[in-house]
Chains A and B, each alone.
Chain A
Amino acid sequence: MTRRGGEDVPVDGSPARREPVRARLCPDGPLLLRGADEVVAADGTVHPVTRPVVAVCACGRSGRAPWCDGTHAYVKPRRTS
Chain B
Amino acid sequence: MLLPASRGPVSAAVIDAARGGDATVPPHDGDDLHGADTQLALWVVYELSYRGFDDAADDAEWDLRLVAWRRGVETAIEAGLRRRTADDVAVAREASDDLVGQLRALVAHVDGPPLARFLQRSATRDQVLEFLTERSVYHLKESDPHAFVLPRVDGPAKVALAELLYDEYGGGRPERLHSLLYADALRSCGIDATYGAHVANASGPTLLSNNVMSLLGLQRRLHGASLGHLAAFETTSTDPCRRIAAGIERVGLPEAAAAYFHEHVEADAVHEQVVLTDICANAVDADPSLRDDVLFGAAVCLRVDADAGAALMDRWTSEAAVAAHDSADDLVRSA
Contacts and interface: CB of A to CB of B under 8 A. Distances in A.
Interface stretch (B30-38, B71-79, B131-139, B163-171): B163-171
Given A26-B277, A64-B265, A69-B265, A51 B239 contact: no
A36 interface: no
Contacts of B268: 70
Given A53-B274, A69-B238, A70-B238, A30 B167 contact: no
Interface string A24-65: 101001101000000000000000001111110000000110
Nearest to A50: B171
Looking at B238, B269, B272, B274, which has the most chain A CB atoms within 10 Å of its CB? B269
A39 B163 CA distance: 20
Contacts of A70: 238-239, 242, 265, 268-269, 272
Contacts, number: 48
A69 to B, nearest CB: 5
B242 A51 contact: no
Contacts of B242: 63, 69-70
A67 B171 contact: no
B270 A32 contact: yes
Nearest to A28: B104
A52 B163 contact: yes
B266 interface: yes
Contacts of B270: 32, 51, 53-55, 68
Contacts of A54: 270
Chain B interface: which size bin?
10 to 19
B163 A29 contact: no
Interface residues of A, number: 18
A63 to B, nearest CB: 8
Contacts of A11: none
A26 B166 contact: no
Interface in B286-333: none
Interface in B244-275: 265-270, 272-274
Most chain B Cβ neighbours within 10 Å, of A24, A32, A51, A68: A51
A51 B273 contact: no
Nearest to A69: B265
Contacts of B274: 32, 53
Contact of B266 (A26, A32, A64, A73): A64
Contact of B273 (A29, A52, A63, A64): A29
Contacts of A73: 239
Nearest to B170: A51
5 contacts: A32-B273, A53-B163, A53-B274, A55-B273, A70-B272
Enumerate the 5 nearest inter-chain pairs by beta-carbon distance, A residue then B residue, closest first.
A70-B238, A68-B269, A55-B270, A26-B273, A55-B269
Given A52-B166, A55-B270, A69-B265, 16 more contacts: A29-B273, A32-B273, A32-B274, A51-B171, A51-B267, A53-B167, A55-B269, A64-B265, A64-B266, A67-B266, A68-B269, A68-B270, A69-B238, A70-B265, A70-B268, A70-B272
